[in-house]
Structure 1
Amino acid sequence: MGDNNFEQRCAIRFCLKLGHSATETFQKLKQAYGESFLSRAQVFRWFKVFSEGRELIEDEPRSGRPSTAKNDENDIRVRELVRFDRRLTVRIIGEQLGLFHTTVHQILTIDLEMRKI
């Protein structure tokens, strides 16, 4: 989370404790932060969450699989497979390594800087 978002969440909680409405809080944030203020929907959502008793300003930990497919180990595995057989397609490399073809494509073009794939 950016420092600016953290500051604005603190300000939302502060305005709530002072008894301001969500609309007043949004207007104050808009005035204070200029172009980089939170959207109206975000301000109202955080205002509601804080008014329901939440004290934490940081985001809750999210469940789900973290993005771990693009790492140095997979870069090496893809590079070795391509060096062994340059005729392999992106889809076949993905199947052999257990990676999505889009991940393999990103590794080849971005990380390994290969252009003719």
Structure 2
Amino acid sequence: MILILFKLQKTRVEIYEPLQEHFPDLAPSQSTVERWYREFIHGNFVLEDAPRSGRPNISHNEENVNEMLDLITKDPHITYAQLEYETELSSGTINIILHEEICVRNLCARWIPHSLNLQQKISRI
């Protein structure tokens, strides 16, 4: 939206005010609008993030997710410490995999799915 208004030759204020008016909760701050405006003035119209330095996250992959799923399927009472030992992953990575990928939670020291499928519901009755 900022780029479109910039190409329509609007000023920083003419870009910022309509954004605040139409998207009060979602609009970027004035400093963000000014930063993008400066980028556009200098001819930088690339909207994607630039590559960043640092180590990529290689531990949060499909292989580790499947391994974790196998472990909690075999032993629903397995602990974080045991998962760390078996998978050699950090507790933070284990937490992300369990709660965001596999969607399980620990209830009464047993890993159970957040939501049950139809077959699981029938087996509980």
Same fold (TM over 0.5): yes
Following TM superposition, by how much is the alpha carbon of 1:44 offset from its aligned partner in structure 2, in angstroms? 0.9
TM-score, normalising length from structure 2? 0.59
Residues 28-107 of structure 1: pairs in structure 2 closer than 5 A: 28-31=18-21, 33-35=22-24, 36-56=26-46, 58-63=47-52, 64-82=54-72, 89-107=79-97
What percent identity do the matched residue pairs reach?
20
Find the aligned partners of 1:21 and 1:112 in 2 and give their Cα distance.
47
Find the aligned partners of 1:73 and 1:93 in 2 and give their Cα distance.
14
Higher relative contact order (CA 8 A, sep 6+): 1
Following TM superposition, by how much is the alpha carbon of 1:93 offset from its aligned partner in structure 2, in angstroms? 2.4
Would you say 1:9 and 2:13 are equivalent positions? no
TM-score, normalising length from structure 1? 0.62
The answer to which structure has the higher helix fraction is: 1
Following TM superposition, by how much is the alpha carbon of 1:77 offset from its aligned partner in structure 2, in angstroms? 1.2
Find the aligned partners of 1:27 and 1:82 in 2 and give their Cα distance.
52
Q: CA RMSD in A?
A: 3.0
Alignment: residue pair count: 105
After superposition, the C-alpha distances for 1:40-65 in whole angstroms (9 at most, x for unaligned) are 12111101111122132x22333244
